[in-house]
Amino acid sequence: MASSAPMDKSDEMPEGGQSPEKTGVPAAGDPWWRQWFGPGVAATIISALVIALVTVGVAGFNSLKGDIRDLKLDITASETRVREDVKVSRTEVKGDLADLRAEVKGDMKDFRTEVKGDLAGLRAEVKGDMKDFRTEIKGDLAGLRAEVKGDMKDFRTEIKGDLADLRAYNQVLNDKLDRVLEVVLAGKS
């Protein structure tokens, strides 16, 4: 048989049959570690933990708000850059077309002067050259238009992809923010 340890006064129940945990006051002979079971100490520790958790949650929430604000600024800057690039592209195309028109007009003036000088002998040749010239110009313009359309299509596709990536990143941040808010609200409950 195992012998039991003798009971001393520190292990006995206080008067009235209540344990020291229920009275909130450690008995005179209680071991030192029982004082940590008191409601005042427990409440202080729990309050400090709750304050620390709320502080961390608020800091995380503010950080997410900053990230979202930065993301919105990045999206706005990207949209502005895209608009500026489109304006520049339009200006370049308009300038190229204006230069091409001016060049064609200059060539036409020179050609008319040359044709007027020897109109009788060159009429058939001029008509053939004009048809070839127009076909060549139409081909150049069609090629230029197709190239510009292709470039614009590629540019739009790239921008749409970038915007989709930014929206996806924004959605991820929103989901994280929702989870943080749920944790904070669950912590308050």
What pLDDT band is residue 1 in, cutting at 50, 70 and 90?
Answer: very low
User: Does residue 5 register a pLDDT over 60?
Assistant: no
Instruction: Kindly report which listed range (28-32, 61-65, 70-74, 143-147) carries the lowest average pLDDT score.
Output: 28-32
The number of domains in the chain is: 1
* pTM assigned to the model: 0.30
Rounded CA gap, 66 and 76, in Å?
Answer: 15
pLDDT in tens, 59-118: 888 888 888 998 899 889 989 999 998 998 889 888 888 888 888 888 888 877 776 777
Question: Domain of 60?
Answer: 43-188
pLDDT score recorded for residue 31: 67
Does 9 have pLDDT greater than 50? no
pLDDT at res. 185: 87
Q: Is residue 132 domain-resident?
A: yes
Is 116 contained in some domain? yes
Query: Is residue 7, in this structure, part of any structural domain at all?
Result: no
Write out the E strands in 35-127: none
Asked, for residue 35, whether it belongs to a domain, the answer is no
Q: Is the pLDDT of residue 180 over 70?
A: yes
> What's the rounded Cα separation, in Å, for the pair 12 and 1?
23
Position 112 in a domain: yes
pLDDT of residue 111: 76
**Cβ(187)–Cβ(74) under 8 Å?**
no
* In a domain? residue 13: no
| Domain annotation covers residue 98 | yes
What distance in Å separates the CA atoms of residue 78 and residue 155, rounded to the nearest whole number? 13
Is the residue at 80 inside a domain?
A: yes
